[in-house]
Amino acid sequence: MFTGIIEAIGTIKQLQVSAQGARIVIDTGALDMADVKLGDSIATNGICLTVIAFDAKSFSADVSTETLSRTGFAHYQVNQRVNLEKAMLPTTRFGGHIVSGHVDAVAKIESINDTGNSTDYWLEMSEEIAPYIAEKGSITIDGVSLTVNALEANKFRLTIVPHTAEQTIMPNYRQGSYVNVEVDVMARYIERLLLKQNSNQTNASGVTESLLRQSGFIKN
């Protein structure tokens, strides 16, 4: 599990893609590798990767064909910068939201507009993920915990303050850039509860659509 608070910006040193998947080597930049062990998880642009080799300044990971097909890895190149976050500890301050490191979709940036002391990013919203995105709800973009500030028919807006931009790869984004999207895991669980309610099974939990609507999880 991760929090969506980026710890360092890394750089892709090697990327070898084959029909069986890929092997990636990441220069970890300022990321503290002192407590990293083989088998640990490091979120790389929001993708949970398992460390198979490492040293003080880098780590290697294997990437499955499933990950290649569902994430922005198809567009990645050597020397590309990536957001890095080590898996959270029980003692970690929870500054973002619950992030699993399992990417749901890839979105394209439609427009970037400076708005004084912040920057607005409008991103496309595919039908696959649209039901899970809510105004003022949480979303993860390339591993960064963010808030959805506006919704339209097929897109959503993020407003990025300078500190977030400085700590992430967002200044590298351009119109047409592709990013990894992970929706709020709570939306997935709510969907599951509603599916169960609408089936013939008994809803022993007592969670109903009416209750979720009253609690603000569902908007009219």
| pLDDT tens digits, 117-165 | 999 999 998 888 888 898 999 999 999 999 999 999 899 999 999 999 9
Output the pLDDT for position 110: 97
pLDDT tier at 1 (50, 70, 90 boundaries)?
confident
Instruction: Give residue limits of the domains in the chain.
Output: 8-86, 105-185, 186-220
How far, in Å, CA of 189 to CA of 184, rounded? 9
Write the pLDDT tens digit of every residue in 12-61. 999 999 889 999 999 999 999 999 999 999 999 999 999 999 999 999 99
Does CATH place domain 105-185 in 3.40.50.2300? Answer: no
Residues 66/29, Cβ–Cβ less than 8 Å: no
Output the pLDDT for position 98: 82
Output the pLDDT for position 202: 47
Strand ordering across the sheet containing 47-50: 47-50, 41-44, 81-86, 8-18, 21-27, 58-63, 53-55
Question: Which pTM was predicted?
Answer: 0.85
Domain covering 8-86, topology: Elongation Factor Tu (Ef-tu); domain 3 (2.40.30)
Q: How many CA atoms lie within 13 A of 28 on its CB side?
A: 22
